[in-house]
Amino acid sequence: MLNKRMLMLSAATAICALSLGFVMQPDSAPSGGGAYEEEHLAELTPETPGELDLSLTNISLTSALPQLEGPSKPVSPSIASRAEVQLGCEMAAEAVALPGAMVSLQITAPCLRDERVTIHHQGMMFTETLDGLGALDLQVPALARTAVFIVDARSRDSAEAEGSGAVSGGALAVVDVPDLDQVDRVVLQWRGNSGFEVHAREFGANYNEEGHLWREAPDHGLGQVLMLGDPDQLSPRLVETYSFLRNGETPAGEIEISVEAQVTEINCGREISAQSLRLTAGRIISRDLVLEMPDCSATGDFLVLNNLVENLKIAAK
């Protein structure tokens, strides 16, 4: 067992939600993923989790400068040079399918060096930071056969702080993922430092044994845990995923999935929220969780939510 005290809770109080479509939501939305806007939610009972059949059509990203009439006064060299730089600031994204229903996502934006970007995919949303060259290369678990990735570079927080227009831009990448039906996948997403963790115990494994996978042992079994998002950002959107690839050698049995939340000095006595997405048989089941954390006397304890995500049942081949 893990060397920590655990408070066993049932996630039966989890609030289930049905997302009515894919929504690009601003960073000012509440914690969690893309299904938090009330106008896009239909509340369900905990016994009937929402099933998301998400599709995207006629997507377009536009970026244009306003039409300007000839200036009555000469334009200063500094203004002219900045305008010339902006005209060349195009963001590009490319997606390539990898084995295991993974996607290699490459983003380039030379004029947005070290900037924050938000990546959207089938209700999953996380924030990353471009490097010093304005580039980002990462692997993302796919949640749809036709995988659409939207990269949003709008910096709303900095715009509000400085009272100026936000740095805006975006890119779209689409790729076919042929082996999606062979993968069971669980996603947990939240915003800020809420202390959430995904734990998978494969085929009867106990804590700290081979087959117990989590962020500190992401590949100690047949599946894999992957973390997405930059935790060093201000109020980041973060994601943890567990993926299990079924093949001819897959054993039959059950994979126990639990979500843990550590009580910390940051979240104690506060309400925290998260969202789970479960991909199974090509469909996404979504559940929202709102959890009241214990007071700060419980700092260091863990809340274990065993029912937020259903266990994965692997059938014999």
Element (H, E) at 83: helix 77-87
pLDDT at residue 314, rounded to an integer? 84
- Kindly give the parts of the chain with pLDDT less than 50: 1-3, 8-87, 156-167
Please state the pTM of the whole predicted model: 0.72
In this prediction, residue 214 carries a pLDDT of 96
The CA-based dihedral angle spanning residues 24, 26, 118, 104, taken in that order and rounded to the nearest 10 degrees: -10
Kindly report the number of other CB atoms within 10 A of residue 205's CB atom: 17
Q: What is the pLDDT of residue 251?
A: 84
pLDDT of residue 164: 37
What's the pLDDT score for residue 41?
A: 30
In this prediction, residue 155 carries a pLDDT of 53
What is the model's pLDDT at position 21?
30
Report how far residue 182's alpha carbon sits from residue 8's, in angstroms, rounded to the nearest whole number. Answer: 32
> pLDDT digits over 74-85, tens only?
434 433 333 334
The beta strands (E) that lie in 142-236 are given as 146-152, 170-176, 183-191, 196-202, 212-213, 224-228
* φ, ψ for residue 37, nearest 5 deg: -65, 125
Q: Are 289 and 11 in contact (CB under 8 A)?
A: yes
Distance of CA 23 to the CA centre of its chain: 13
Q: Rounded CA gap, 233 and 28, in Å? A: 14
pLDDT of residue 79: 34
The number of C-alpha atoms within 13 Å of 115 and in the hemisphere containing its C-beta is 28
Inter-residue contact 24 to 48 (CB < 8 Å): no
Give the pLDDT score at 88.
57
Which residues 6+ apart lie within 8 Å of 265 measured at CB?
296, 299
The answer to whether the beta carbons of residues 167 and 127 sit under 8 Å apart is no
Please answer whether residues 284 and 13 qualify as being in contact, where contact means their C-beta atoms are separated by less than 8 angstroms.
no
* Distance between CA atoms of residues 21 and 229, nearest Å: 23
pLDDT digits (tens, 9 = 90+) for 168-177: 579 999 999 9
Domain boundaries along the sequence of the chain: 6-53+82-314
The closest alpha carbon to 87, from 60, 66, 116, 113, belongs to: 66
State how far the Cα of 198 lies from the Cα of 188, in Å rounded to an integer: 7
The rounded distance, in Å, linking the Cα atoms of 143 and 103 is 10
245 Cβ neighbours under 8 A, 6+ residues apart: 100, 101, 179, 182, 183, 222, 223
